[in-house]
Amino acid sequence: MGIIEKIKEIEAEMARTQKNKATEYHLGQLKAKIAKLRTQLLEPPKGSSGGGEGFEVTKFGHGRVALIGFPSVGKSTPLTMLTGTHSEAASYEFTTLTCIPGIIHYNDTKIQLLDLPGIIEGASEGKGRGRQVIAVAKSSDIVLMVLDASKSEGHRQILTKELEAVGLRLNKRPPQIYFKKKKTGGISFNSTLPLTHVDEKLCYQILHEYKIHNAEILFREDATVDDLIDVIERNRKYMKCVYVYNKIDVIGIDDVDRLARQPNSVVISCN
C-alpha cells in the first residue's frame, strides 16, 4: 500500500470515529501517524535531483512573494501589471505551467514576485506539480493567495487545507511549547497552566508514535494535539498571507464590502 492510500485509510478511520473523551487518545495517535506519512510524502523520490522545469528560481531582492491560487483566478495579470514581466494570461485554465518571476520596485526595495502554476485539490499529494509549487511557496517570505471573489470561500478553505497538509501555517504563530529530545531520563512533562486539549497520557502516546522515549516538554499555552505534533515534526513554516479577492466586478457591492472587511484581505479587479 502506498503512502497516499495509507493516509486516506487513516482519514477514513478518523471520520468514522466519534469524537469523545474515550476516543481522544486514539484520534491523537492517528493524527501523529498522518503527520509522519505526510512528511514522508514530501521527501523527494530517491534518485531524483528534486525540483523541475521552471522551479529553480534564485532568490533576488529584499523579499520573495508567492502568488498562489486555483487555475484561472487571475494571478498572471497582477504580475504583468506590477512588474512588467509578461506572464501568459488567458481565460482558460492552466495557462501558467512553470514558475515565472518578476520584480516590483518599491521606493528603494526590490521585491521578487513569483507567479506559480495554479494549485488544484490534491497538490499536497503531488498532483498537478503541486509538490514543486509548494516547495517554492515555502521558500517565500509571504504568500499572496489570489481568489475568485465569486467562489472565494470554498477555494480559500481548500487552499488553506492543502498548504497546512504540507506544513505551511498561514497567519499563525508557532505554538508556545518547549520540546527537547534527551538521551536518557524518560519523558518530563510540565505545563505552566491548566490544559484542556492534551494531557500527560496523550502526550506520551504521541511521543511513543514517533519512537521518542526521552524528552523534556513544557506547555506554555493551552495547545492542541495538532500544535504538539507541529512542534515534534519541526518542519512547519509560519507565514503571513494576504488574501486577494479578484474579479469583484462580477459580484454585488455588499459582497465586495464583506470581503474587504475580512482580516488580511484586499479586493481588486484586474480589468
Task: Say what the pLDDT of residue 38 is.
Answer: 83
DSSP per-residue codes, the chain = --HHHHHHHHHHHHHHS--STTTHHHHHHHHHHHHHHHHHHHSPPTT-----TTT-PPP-SSEEEEEEE-TTSSSHHHHHHHH-------SSS----S-EEEEEEETTEEEEEEEPPPP-TTGGGTGGGHHHHHHHHHTSSEEEEEEEGGGHHHHHHHHHHHHHHTTEEET-----EEEEE-SSS-EEEEESS--SS--HHHHHHHHHHTT--SEEEEESS---HHHHHHHHH---EEEEEEEEEE-GGGS-HHHHHHHHTSTTEEE----
Do 160 and 185 reside in the same domain of the chain? no
Do 247 and 136 reside in the same domain of the chain? yes
Q: Domain tally for the chain? A: 2
Residue 57, domain member (yes or no)? no
Residue 21, domain member (yes or no)? yes
Do 32 and 74 reside in the same domain of the chain? no
Task: Say what the pLDDT of residue 94 is.
Answer: 43
Task: Say what the pLDDT of residue 117 is.
Answer: 72
pLDDT tens string, the chain, 271 residues long: the values are 688 888 889 989 989 988 887 888 888 889 999 888 888 777 665 655 544 444 567 788 899 998 888 877 877 787 888 887 765 544 434 444 567 788 888 899 999 988 877 665 566 666 656 666 777 778 899 999 999 998 867 888 888 888 888 888 999 999 999 999 999 999 999 999 999 999 999 999 999 999 999 999 999 999 999 999 999 998 899 999 999 999 999 999 999 999 999 999 999 998 7
Residue 180, domain member (yes or no)? yes
Task: Say what the pLDDT of residue 137 is.
Answer: 79
pTM of the complete model: 0.80
Do 136 and 121 reside in the same domain of the chain? yes
Do 224 and 109 reside in the same domain of the chain? no
Do 136 and 241 reside in the same domain of the chain? yes
Do 92 and 168 reside in the same domain of the chain? yes
Do 246 and 129 reside in the same domain of the chain? yes
Residue 38, domain member (yes or no)? yes
Residue 202, domain member (yes or no)? yes
Task: Say what the pLDDT of residue 75 is.
Answer: 79
Do 245 and 134 reside in the same domain of the chain? yes
Task: Say what the pLDDT of residue 119 is.
Answer: 63
Residue 58, domain member (yes or no)? no
Residue 56, domain member (yes or no)? no
Do 140 and 7 reside in the same domain of the chain? no
Q: What is the CATH number of the domain that holds 82?
A: 3.40.50.300
Residue 49, domain member (yes or no)? no
Domain interval for residue 254: 63-172+236-267
Do 14 and 142 reside in the same domain of the chain? no
